[in-house]
Each structure stands twice: as C-alpha cells, then as structure tokens.
Structure 1
Amino acid sequence: MPDACRHFIHPALIMKLCSEAIRSLFRNEGKHRGEATVEAVRLVSASVKLNDCQLHPDVVEVCLSLKFDEDLGKDESKEEKLKPKKNKRYQNRDVTKPSEKKKIKKELLSKARQEVHADLRAVSFTLDPKEKKMIQRETLAALFETYFRILKHSMNTSNSRYKATSVFPGGSHPLLAPCLEGLGKFSHLIDLDFMSELIACLKKLSGYTDHQGEIPPDNTLSVSERLQCCIVAFKVWRSNLEALNVDLQDFFVQFYNLILEYRPDRDHGEVLADALKTLLWEGKQQDMLRAAAFIKRLATFALSFGSTEAIAALITLRHLLQKNTKCRNMLENDAGGGSLSSLVAKYDPEAKDPYLSGALATVLWELSLLQKHHDETVSGMASNILSMANLNATQNPVQLSSSNPLEAYKDLSMGRELSKPTHKVSQTLKCKRKRRSKEFVALSTDVLEKADCTVGEDELREKLQSHFAVLRGISENERLRTELNHALSSINMYKEYKKQKKASKKSKKAAKA
C-alpha cells in the first residue's frame, strides 16, 4: 500500500475510533468506578493546554457525553443545615462508661465491620455516595478548567498567527464551539463565584460595544460563534435565577445587531433558530419597546432570506405579538397604523439599540409581501399573523404550529431535503464518464479527515491493482488501435498506388498502338 494512501486514510479512522472509545468510557462509569473518567478529562485538559487550544473540535466534544448528578452543584454547608439535628437532651445525657470486656468486644465488632465493608467495596463496582460525589467534583473541576482556558484563549483576538496557521474546523478558534455547547449543557453546575466573570467574558466574545459612535473591535469570531455566546449567557442565567443578579440587556442589543450580519451561505441557520428560541421565545414577557424592535427586524429578516430562516423568524414574531398585544397596532396598514406613542417618533432601521429604533411608529408591510411567498408554509404563517389585526387583545389566532423556532427550522429543513429530486445515472453512463474524464481534483486534508475510511489494507491494494490494470488495458488498447489504423491507411495507400500504376501502363500501351 502506498505511503500517501496510508497517510490520508488512517488519521481520520484513528480519530473516530478514539472518540468513540472515550465516549464509551464516559457512558459506562460503573465498570471503572469513575476513576478512569477523571484521568481522561485531566488528559484532555493537559492536551488543550499543551497545544494552546489548537486541536480538533472532537477532542473537547467528547466531554459532552459526561454525566453528573443534579445536586452536585449544591453547597455542602446548605446541605448540612438541612440535616435534622439531634436532640440536645440525648446528646448531653451522661452515659455510663462501659467495662473493659464490652469495650474490647465493640472494637472487635467495628474492625470486623470495616473489613467486611472493605471486601464488599473491592468486589462491587458501586461507589459510596461520598466517594462518587468527590470523583464527580474532580471531573467537573478539570472540565471547567478546560472550558475557561478555551474562553480566555478566544478572547485574545489580537494574536493573528492562528488565523493563518489553523487547519482545524472552526478557524482560529476550533475548540470554542464545543466549549460553548458544554457550558450551556452544564450551566447549572457552574460555581456562583465565577458567574460574573463568565458573563463578562461571554459579553466580550459576542462582540458587544456600547454602540455610541465607537468603532467595533476586530472580532475574529464568526456570527454563529457570537450567537452561541448569547445563547450560553441566557442558559447560565436561567439555571441560576435565584442566586444570579445580572442584567442581560447588552446581549439583547448584540443579538439585535447580529441578525443583520447573518448570511445563510456562511453561517449556521440552526444556531440562529436556537438563539431566537432562547432569547425571545423562552422566558418572561419582553418589554414593549424591545419587543416591537425585534418584531420589525424579524419581519425584514424573513423577507430577505430563505424559507427555513423565514419560518423561524415568523414563528418568533407571532409569539412576540401574542405576548405583547399593544404591538399588534403595527399590523394595521392604514393611516393610523404604527401611531403608538414611544420615545422615538420616527422609525430608524439603522439604530443599534432596539430601544432607540422607534419601531412602534412603523407598520409591518413586509407581511403583505410574505403572503405571496412561493413556500406555502411561509405564506400561511404570514396570513395567520396578519389575521391578528382583526382580533381583540385577549384573542389569539388559530395555531398553525405549536413548534418553537428551532423545531420549525429543523422540520422545514428536513422536509426540503426529502423533497429534493434524486436523478439516477445509469452504470454505463458512469463508466463512460470515468473513461473520458482526464481531470483529477485534489482533496484537502479536512475532507479526507472527515471521510469514513473503513477500507482494509488488503482490500484497498486489490482495488488499486484492478483499477490500474483496467487503466493499463485501456491505454494498451488505444495504442494497438492507433497502430492498426496506421497499418490500414498504409495498405489503402499501397492499393491506390497499384491502381494508378496499372492505369498509367494501359494508357502508355494505348498511345503506342
């Protein structure tokens, strides 16, 4: 087998097998009592530190398979306070001192119990609750150490050398996406002492500025990564509502501006739909001015992009109108529409702050155009929203779908994939194209690493031998055909020469006679 094939096939296969092995290790903690899990997470943390966060995303993504007890993040002092206290009368009661024989007997019984417990612990794979909690806390500490190191590394956007040298998926910050996903999953286990620092870090990574004429910093993060920062901030906040007192208005402002920066051919629509669900769909009722600004921006967004993004935006828009009945005045396209009083008398579509946009002074004319959309799902949703203008404040239109923005985006994306026509090409036509084609495309290392290379060495050698044998046969056949054509043309020329010679002889004889 050639060295080039060995170099391109094995790394992707080894990476896939290693990832599956580590995930299996995390899922089956009963077989090793959790000790191997702690060691594996510590090795991942050491590898991230050693390579300066420039690793394949799968290195950190495997940690999403970890499982922790729900009460792991609770404070031990609170748990001790909740324990029932013993009666002081029984505690202070004088106990008669036991005799020497009874004392020796008790010591022997306690030693025997300890030996029995030690033997049972050695035979069984189950851990004591205290030991299990200690191991899980060590694992969690190593995991969050890795996550915070990745966040701090991502904040150093001035270091541009990774921008050019990074060959992993995710650009200059390949580990940021799985890190943010892990923080969102384990947000309820984060220590409260680090909450404010984490929120400040996420705000900086999202690219937030005060938008008061300040030039925005050179942010190397993509729009999808900045949206994920906003999502994680809200998940952390909702997981710790009782203890965390943080104003997330800045994240709403940043999300309001990131909607305009979204591009479907460059960014991930599923992340945007998740942001719509987390920031606008879930949680408490939005402020009227902020809700009106997002309603207007989502209507403009739905008119500008594809069906999947449009349906996620329209479902969120309808939800905001149901929660904020005063904003339904924006649905009236007559002279009185959009005349609700606000701080700003005129709508400013380029405003950076949703509170200063003046969206209540405008109307949702985009919905009239979306009624004529080529996709029936989008046009039906637009008509359903427009019907809210004729309803009372306490009434809601008939629900076309109870899905949230993320579910609607996934459903429509899957439906479009299934509805794509599949053109089958005959086998003979494929063979002809293979024989005629003389151009070869060099695949990048990223494509080769992502490919599932499960072909064995012997099977690959046989396929290569048969392939090149066919190529040699084709080239030999072409060479023989050219020689045959050359021989046939020579024979034809010789026959023509004989005919001309005979004709010249006859003409000479006729002239003599």
Structure 2
Amino acid sequence: ELCCSALKSIFSNEDKHGGEVTVEAVRLITNSVKIHNCQLHPDSIEVFLSLTFDDDIGRSQSTAKEKGNKSKKRRWKQVNEEQKSMLGNDKKLSKKELIAKTRHEVREDLKVSSFAVDSAERRRKQTETLSAIFETYFRILKHSMESDVSRSLLAGCLRGLAKFSHLLDLDFMSDLMGCLKKLASSGDCDSNGINLKVSERMQCCIVAFKVMRNNFDALNVDLQDFFIQLYNLLLEYRPQRDQGEVLAEALKVMLCDGKQHDMQRAAAFIKRLANFSLFFGDAEAYAALVTLKVLLQKNSKCLNLLENDAGGGSLSGLVVKYQPEATDPNLSGALASVLWDLSLLSKHYNKTIASMASSISTMSTVQTQTPAFIPNISPQQAFRELSFGQEPFKLSEKPLNLKKRKIRSQSCGSSFLLPCMDMANENDLMSKFQSHFTAVRKFKENERLRIELNKAKASLDLYEEYRKSEGLKKEKRRKLIEIEKK
C-alpha cells in the first residue's frame, strides 16, 4: 500500500519533477509484469489509473509562452520606469545598486522559465509512457487468453483500457476488439478452456463499447456478438458472487447510452430485464427497471409489450412465438410476448421498485397525456441507491388494518390460512427480526471467540511442553556435572 500510494503521488504530481520519474516508474512496472509473467498483485497496475495525459499539448504551451512573454515585457517596462525615476529623483544612486536590482529581476525570470516544460519534450515523455502502458495491457490480455492461468491483473487491465482507449493507436484497434470478443465469449463451449468470471466478461463488453464510441468514425466493427454475450450473462449473474456495479455499468454503456436499438433486440432485452428483476435483489432489480424504462422510451414501438392481448403482444417479427431460452436476442421473438412481470413487480415489498413497475406499466396509456413520474437516473445511480450496504431495509410505513379481514365461522366451510402480516403487529415483527439477527451476531461472535480461545490454549500447551523439555535438559546437565566432579 505504501508503494502504491508513493507511485500515485509521483504520477499525480508530475509537474514537480518534469515527467522523467513517471516514465522510469512505468518502465519498471512494465518490466516487472514481463518478468513475473503477469503474476503480480492487482494494485501493481492499478496505479496507472492515476496518470493523466494532455490531448493538445502544443496549444496550451503556446498560450503559456504568450502569457510569459507578456509578463516579461511588463516586468522590463517596470524596471526601466523605476530606473528612470530613480535616476531623476536621486542622482546619487550608485551603479552597483542598479546592477543588483537588474540581476534580481533576471533571476526571477529564470526561475519562472525553468519550471515550464517544452511541449515537444512533454509529448515525447507522454508517448513513451503510453506505449509502455499499452504494452503491459496487451501482454495481460494475451496472457489471459491462455487456459489454466491466474488472471489477477485482468480487471485492472480492463479498467485502464476503458480509461485510455481514446489514446490508443487505430492500428491496434482490430487486435484489441478481437481479444475482447474472445474473452467475452470465454464461458461458451468453444472457449478453449478459458473460464472468466461473469463480471470480467461484462467488463470486456464495456471496454469494447467504450473503444467503439471513442473511435466511432475510424472503426467499422459489428457489436452484435457483445449484445449476445450480455443477453446470456444476465442469466448467469449471481448477486453474492458477481459485482453489481459492473452489471449496472454494462446496462448503462451498452443499452442506455447511444442511439436507438433494433426493435427485435430492444424487445428481447426489455423482456429479459423484466424477468431478471423478479429473481434478484433490490439494487439489481431497480437498475434493470431503470434500463427497461430507457429502452421503452427510445423504442416507442416496444410499448406494445405492455398491452395484454390474447396470444401475446400486438407485434410479431420473424419469430411468431416467444422463445425465452434463445441465446440470440434477435431470434427470441420477444415482440410476441407480454410484460406480465410488471404486474408482479408492482406488488413488490420495496416501495421504490413497486412504484417504478407501476409507472412503467402505465406508459402505454399516457402517451398523449402527461407521462407518469419516473426518476430520471442511470442504472448505476439506481444500483447505489438501493444497495444493501448504503440503505438498510425498511418495512412499509402503512399501518396494518386488522379489521379489514374477518375470520369466517366454521359453518362457512372455507378453510384457508390468513397471511402472517394480518395476524401480527408491525412492531412485534420488527422486534422479532432484531432479536433474531442479534442472536445470529452473538453466535458468530461466540464462534470467533472460541476459535481464538482454542488458539490460545494450543499456544499455551506448546509453551508448557517447551518448558518441560528445557527443565529435563537442565536436570541432565546438572547430573552430568555432578558425575564429573565425583
């Protein structure tokens, strides 16, 4: 941690040392990655994210030079005016004082000019730094495509590529997109033994889209394969295992940003996101519903999925029947389905998700009227808003109306069980939850203390054995000494 913080400080304070130390540090990290065959701690390349590069160095340097020249001219004018006034007012002023004053002004000008770095030299250093960084990133990508290897640096590599993709040479774009496509499809049957995590595969898709958007005019790449991977990764995602922040970023970059999607693909993602929201946590469900809302707003024809017609939606494409198990979103036939999932989500225990689902359900009926209020936030903001670590779970604030339901007499002949919420008070339920989780925490604390106690006992037993062995050795030595004396 100390080394990483020192390197980040060097990279962020580049103006103090002129950039030469930055180039040397990046070269050393690159050589270390090469020597250890990409088997290093992830923080060793995370420090690259602290680097900053100028897009147009010449323009900024020219303006700085102009400002410097103007300030120099002003200083020389002030010096000349002061000298003239001194000569006019005090003729007894010696030449030594004038020379000393002039030297002082020249030293100040030299100090100012010494801190200004030449634009060509600065561009040369930044070019060397960039080439070393991208060499490291491509080495990590090629190493990650091998089977049965550790990929500890892949996550940091993908984050760095996403940040510096606009600075990459266009000659390497096709190779980069090929590597990303192969890594994103590593979970398929023909992945040649490459098994990446779901979050890492999503990051590959995110980097591909960022590279494409930063170089849209120069690249002609079909991103359909990455859409297919995201469509299938939504089924493989697990909340406790994978990173929800990466999922939210993938939804924003690939589905929310950019232009209007193909109608078949948009309908497939809308249907899958609605189904996805039923089975996962609050944060993931809210991010998925926000993305679903954006897709419906961008693709107005997909609003027909909200119509509950007999036999499915009012539109149909090449595939007449909805195929939920299809791997290609264009072949799923989602236009023939209905978003019945929103009806269940409108009864969600979380009021935020329930209101969002209800608002989306009414989008088709309020097209000509004032649209329903839906928070205009990104999937990432939605995920952070309902993350378990930031906002604790809250029960509904509405008091239960126990008089609403009455228990019928046995002569009625109906035998059913009332819900637990109708039989219990909210305060009692909260107290039970608190006591339950307090007991769970006490059990865990007790288990931790027992483990520490066992370790302490084991260490004490070892110490007692050591003392006994040392006592026996001393007793033997004493007896030998007595025998020798006799």
TM-score relative to the length of structure 1: 0.66
Q: Equivalent of 1:249, from 212, 224, 232?
A: 224
2:82 aligned with 1:70, yes or no? no
User: Corresponding residue for 2:141?
Assistant: 151
2:425 aligned with 1:440, yes or no? no
Q: Deviations over 1:235-266 (max 9, x none)?
A: 00000111111111111111111111101111
- CA pair 215-151 structure 1, distance change in 2 beyond 3 A: closer
User: Corresponding residue for 2:280?
Assistant: 305
**Which residue identity is paired with 1:140?**
L
Indicate if the aligned counterparts of 1:44 and 1:60 stay in contact, CA closer than 8 A.
yes
- CA pair 56-435 structure 1, distance change in 2 beyond 3 A: closer
Is the partner of 2:452 in helix, strand or coil? coil
Distance 1:73 1:208 in 2: 43
User: Corresponding residue for 2:483?
Assistant: none
Distance 1:140 1:328 in 2: 47
Q: Deviations over 1:389-435 (max 9, x none)?
A: 2133x667333311100111012216754569999x99xx99xx889
Map residues 113-124 of structure 1 onto 2, 5 A cutoff: 120=110, 124=114
Q: Equivalent of 1:178, from 129, 142, 156?
A: 156
- CA pair 355-305 structure 1, distance change in 2 beyond 3 A: same
Shift of 1:72: 7.2
Q: How many residues align?
A: 370
Q: Equivalent of 1:364, from 326, 332, 339?
A: 339
Indicate if the aligned counterparts of 1:53 and 1:150 stay in contact, CA closer than 8 A.
yes
User: Corresponding residue for 1:192?
Assistant: 170
User: Corresponding residue for 1:137?
Assistant: 127
Q: Equivalent of 1:324, from 274, 299, 306?
A: 299
Indicate if the aligned counterparts of 1:45 and 1:146 stay in contact, CA closer than 8 A.
yes
2:357 aligned with 1:382, yes or no? yes
Shift of 1:17: 0.8
Is the partner of 2:115 in helix, strand or coil? coil
Where in structure 1 are there 5+ consecutive unaligned residues? Answer: 1-15, 75-115, 163-171, 444-466, 476-513
User: Corresponding residue for 2:181?
Assistant: 203
User: Corresponding residue for 2:95?
Assistant: none
Q: How big is the alpha-carbon RMSD for the aligned residues of Structure 1 and Structure 2?
A: 3.3
Shift of 1:286: 0.6
Say which is worse superposed, 361-370 or 407-416, in terms of deviation: 407-416
Identity %, equivalent residues: 59
Greater relative contact order structure (CA < 8 Å, 6+ sep): 1
- CA pair 150-122 structure 1, distance change in 2 beyond 3 A: farther
Distance 1:38 1:66 in 2: 11
Indicate if the aligned counterparts of 1:188 and 1:236 stay in contact, CA closer than 8 A.
yes
Shift of 1:202: 0.2
- CA pair 380-347 structure 1, distance change in 2 beyond 3 A: same
**Which residue identity is paired with 2:373?**
Q
Shift of 1:333: 1.7
Is the partner of 1:399 in helix, strand or coil? coil
Distance 2:164 2:343 in 1: 43
Indicate if the aligned counterparts of 1:48 and 1:55 stay in contact, CA closer than 8 A.
yes
- CA pair 255-437 structure 1, distance change in 2 beyond 3 A: closer
User: Corresponding residue for 1:104?
Assistant: none
Q: Deviations over 1:180-205 (max 9, x none)?
A: 00000111101000001100110000
Shift of 1:343: 0.3
Shift of 1:217: 4.4
Indicate if the aligned counterparts of 1:370 and 1:379 stay in contact, CA closer than 8 A.
yes
Is the partner of 1:265 in helix, strand or coil? coil
User: Corresponding residue for 2:271?
Assistant: 296
User: Corresponding residue for 2:14?
Assistant: 29
2:320 aligned with 1:345, yes or no? yes
**Which residue identity is paired with 2:184?**
S
